[in-house]
């Protein structure tokens, strides 16, 4: 991910240049479902982190004055890459791993971090915060375990699986004609329920009603063959001639319907 520190250099960059930074929060994106509130919270926290890192950037003047020292002190940094990418300044104690391996330039207690090494700073901060949080949790655990309401949950927590369950076959979205009446009473939205009720009572729907209900039947999984069978079986009970029961008449719009079964 590329932090937008220098707007002018992004004007002529391609889409790939905007996202060439090695900072990634996930090797693979998580597949679990989260609430909208959690998503918004994570998004705000991420923006705070990115803003914090962006504010660590070294000015163009300072980078130019330290150009030779930065190139000599930083592994894999050349004059061309130094011009194209940002350099970040952090307290040296936050970059001890990089200082130990001599990958950064030190000046006045600060470490100058090349853009491709900033992920190390983020990881170190994450490890520090995680370690502190685990220590607090360990101290609180005896008191929590004494609560009878939480004890069963904690006992099985290490064996819990919160990922997607693939043991059962998912609903593939297909229904049969025999299910329509039952589903109309408990699962159809009110507008479609009224159209279905009117169709059953009067064995006819106006053009607009046929279009709306026909598209709804398509959306819940009826094929074109099933839809034709449904409309014809209902219309023949009314005043419509069987010869007039063409596809356009039945539901007004047949483009995009699933094809007839073979």
- Token reading at 43: 């998004």
| CATH number for the domain running over 54-154 | 1.20.930.80
Does the predicted model carry a pTM greater than 0.85? no
Q: 190-202 and 207-219 are packed helices; what angle lies between their axes, rounded to 10 degrees?
A: 120
CA-to-CA distance for 187 and 178, rounded, in angstroms?
14
DSSP reduced 3-state for 185: helix
According to DSSP, residue 164 is labeled -
Q: Per-residue confidence of the chain (262 residues) as pLDDT tens digits?
A: 444 444 444 444 444 454 344 444 555 566 667 778 877 887 777 777 766 666 566 666 677 667 677 777 676 666 666 666 677 777 777 777 777 777 777 777 777 777 777 777 778 888 888 888 888 888 877 777 777 777 777 777 667 666 666 555 555 556 778 888 888 888 888 888 888 888 888 888 888 888 888 888 888 888 888 888 888 888 777 776 655 655 555 555 444 444 444 3
Confirm if 76 and 116 have CB atoms less than 8 A apart.
Answer: yes
> Residue 106 in 3-state DSSP?
strand
Q: Where are the domains of the chain?
A: 54-154, 178-251
Alpha-carbon distance of 185 to 169, in angstroms, equals: 25
CB 214 within 8 A of CB 205: no
Cα–Cα distance for residue pair 93/99, rounded to 1 Å: 9
């Amino acid at each position: 991910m590329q932090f937008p520190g220098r707007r002018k250099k992004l004007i002529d960059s391609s889409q790939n240049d905007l996202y060439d930074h090695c900072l990634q929060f996930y090797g693979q994106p998580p597949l679990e479902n989260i609430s909208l509130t959690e998503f918004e919270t994570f998004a705000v926290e991420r923006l705070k982190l990115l803003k914090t890192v962006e504010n660590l950037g070294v000015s163009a003047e300072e980078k130019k004055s330290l150009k030779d020292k930065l190139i000599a002190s930083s592994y894999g940094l050349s004059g061309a890459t130094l011009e194209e990418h940002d350099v970040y300044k952090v307290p040296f104690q936050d970059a001890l791993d990089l200082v130990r391996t001599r990958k950064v330039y030190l000046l006045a207690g600060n470490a100058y971090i090349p853009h491709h090494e900033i992920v190390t700073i983020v990881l170190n901060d994450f490890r520090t915060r995680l370690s502190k949080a685990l220590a607090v949790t360990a101290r609180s655990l005896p008191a929590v375990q004494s609560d009878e309401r939480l004890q069963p949950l904690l006992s099985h927590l290490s064996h819990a699986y919160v990922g997607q369950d693939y043991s059962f076959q998912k609903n593939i979205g297909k229904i049969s004609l025999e299910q329509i009446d039952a589903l109309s009473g408990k699962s159809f939205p009110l507008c479609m329920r009224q159209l279905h009720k009117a169709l059953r009572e009067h064995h006819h729907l106006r053009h607009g009603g046929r279009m709306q209900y026909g598209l709804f039947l398509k959306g819940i999984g009826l094929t074109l063959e099933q839809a034709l069978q449904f409309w014809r079986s209902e219309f023949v009970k009314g005043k419509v001639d069987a010869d007039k029961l063409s596809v356009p008449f039945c539901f007004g719009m047949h483009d995009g319907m699933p094809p007839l079964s073979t």
